[in-house]
Amino acid sequence: MRVAAIQTTAGTDRGENLERAGRLVEEAAAAGATLVVLPEYFSVAGSPDHLRRHAESLAGPTVTWAAALARRLQIHILAGTVPERVDGPGPAGTAPERIFNTSCLVDATGAIRAVYRKVHLFDVALGAVSFHESATVTAGDRLCVVPLIGASDEPGPLLGLSVCYDLRFPEMYRIMALDGATVVAVPSAFTAATGPAHWELLLRARAVENEVFMIGAGQVGALPRGMPACHGHSMVVDPWGSVLAERTEPSPGVVLADLDEGLQSRVRSELPVLANRRPDAYRWPGDDTRGGTGSGL
């Protein structure tokens, strides 16, 4: 399967962002990609107020655009993330109208195949970078693994969905791998402050730990006021931790890679870390139902 990670520099205008992203998606499809992953907030970027004003439902302009494009090009498109507006009662203490940071997978018929709402919100104060995503966005509470359906309607690889800051929480990726994920997408707006040290390291670590392919699609460069500058360096990593393809140029573009399922099978057979787990010996702190972490004497 050939996949593509799209790298963009989104502005405040949705129409312009979709037009630019569309050209890159078409380039990827023309090169044979059947799964195209767009970055976090690819359709609209800006301050928290700007995101609130431009939040939309899954029937809104961005997912409608992605569905039409996927249907015309006969590919799967992961519509990076969009600020999703959800009306109605939410968890205790949340407003009736909530905003999620939402990733949406559409298939070659234009149908929505999966929806993932970012679980881990970027609340940090690191040097010059200070961002409090939870002031604007409501956290999701469910993981997502979905089969990719090929032209023959036969199930293909299982795709796990995650977003940006999720990458720092390894338990999420292990659970998706145990649920069958063989490929994991990471639409991101990874910051320029942390990206050089952590982006590639974390993508490769999650790939090696779980013996999955990782597709990291990032924003790059200066985004509108209210968002940190972004690292870019979109890439695809294989289950051995090797970088199959990457974009080191700090500009929008397309990263293409072929995913070798045979390689993945060999890695999982020869180094069976998932099969060799000992969950009966593990426990979360505070959980007394499993083995402990004492001296072992």
Question: Is the dihedral angle over the CA atoms 60, 8, 204, 158 positive or is it negative?
Answer: positive
- 296: tokens are 């072992």
Q: Which of 56, 164, 211, 246 is catalytic?
A: 164
| Residue 40 known to be catalytic | yes
CB atoms within 10 A of CB 141: 8
Q: Read off the DSSP letter of residue 167.
A: G
For residue 98, CA distances in Å to 53, 57, 74, 120, 221 come to 12, 11, 33, 16, 29
* CB proximity list for 116: less than 8 A, separation 6 or greater: 102, 103, 104, 140, 142, 143, 144, 161, 162, 163
- Exposure string of 150-182, with b = 16+ CB inside 10 Å and e = fewer, is eeeeeebbbbbbbbbbbbeeeebbbebbeeebb
Q: Which of 40, 84, 211, 246 is catalytic?
A: 40
Quick one: angle between helices 14-30 and 61-73, nearest 10? 20
| Residue 26 known to be catalytic | no
Dihedral angle of Cα 222, 224, 228, 232, to the nearest 10 degrees: -40
Q: CA end-to-end span of the chain, whole Å?
A: 50
**Bridge partners, residue 78, by sequence:** 37, 105
Q: d(Cα 289, Cα 129) in Å, to the nearest integer?
A: 40
| Residue 261 known to be catalytic | no
Q: Which of 118, 133, 211, 230 is catalytic?
A: 118
* Amino acid letter, 150: G
The catalytic site residues sit at 40, 118, 164
